[in-house]
Structure 1
Amino acid sequence: MKNKPEIQGERLQKMLANVGMGSRRQIEGWIREGRVQVNGKPAKLGDRATLQDQITVDGRLVSGKKLAANERFVILYNKPEGELVTRHDPEGSKTVFEKLPRLPQGRWIAVGRLDVNSAGLLLFTNDGELANRLMHPKQLIEREYAVRVHGRVTEDMLKQLVQGVELDDGPARFEEVVFSGGEGS
């Protein structure tokens, strides 16, 4: 029986995302656009790299020290209504990232999101792998939401939420809906 050759290194987009340079999907786009090089050659999707490789993004060297550092930061943030969970808003609205402390390296990644009219607890990290594991549906991490609804909620509405609705980023559904006060209880 032949031994499989050992795969060296880590996927390039994962390596760069883990140090907070961007999301994996964003970095995959950079690779497709030819903005990322490994050892002087344009990177391709699926390429792997090690700390010994010379990686550049837009012609700027990504320091090996930055890639080797793996200090993880995680914070909880109580988002008030009126703040957006985005890095930059073209309309100049307040964003959650404006209030977060500066990191010694990398950038904050929001684990999940709340809309502008919602308030609540958000988790932020500089660890792309951790953020991905917490957000990816395959991990089956249960999320619980407490909401206040103005207006009447019908049985058909509740059934639809449990059966599933189609959102811009794919299907979503609730396992259960539990009343905890108000007129419906």
Structure 2
Amino acid sequence: MNSSIKTIIMMLFLVVTLQSCNQDPTLQSFYVDSELAPGFTSLDVPISLLKIDETQLDEEQKAAYESVDKLSMVAFVAEDGNKEQMDIEFAKVKTILANPKYEELMRGGNSTDGKFVVKYVGDGENVDEFILLGNSSEAGFAVVRIIGDDMNFSKIMKLASVLDEGNIEETQLKEITKFFQ
């Protein structure tokens, strides 16, 4: 009986190992693999660093602010000689975001200035993550994740208007805004 238990444990271990090898890449694994890689820059900003005066927020803006935990960005900066690598890395992100769990919310831009797509994970009214993928042949590409609990896009957009009015250049977010200028 002892050998049958060993056999069952070995079979279980083999199944788990084979399944973990077949895992598709995730956005989180892309972030981890890229954050220190050549050509990339990354940034994590807890929502508390935005220095928003909550007393100036209306109820929807306050709800949106409280639903966001952090902003994360990983960007590949275009430079002479790295276009081929940039195309490879951009293709990886597009493949990950092609997963049906990422619902498309909107897209825009043009081939001259750059393009963007906004996707989300959740059920529309209760979103756990918004993803902004922007790319430009001159600047590179960036993936910005807005991570939180039960976020709502329309409320987040109202919160964005508060950020526009504030002095965002004094925070770590200047790295994100600089990339998209």
TM over 0.5: no
TM-score (norm 1): 0.18
Which is richer in strand? Answer: 2
Computing the radius of gyration from Cα coordinates, the structure with the larger value is: 1
Tell me which of the two structures has the higher relative contact order, counting C-alpha pairs closer than 8 angstroms and 6 or more residues apart: 2
Structure number having the greater helix percentage: 2
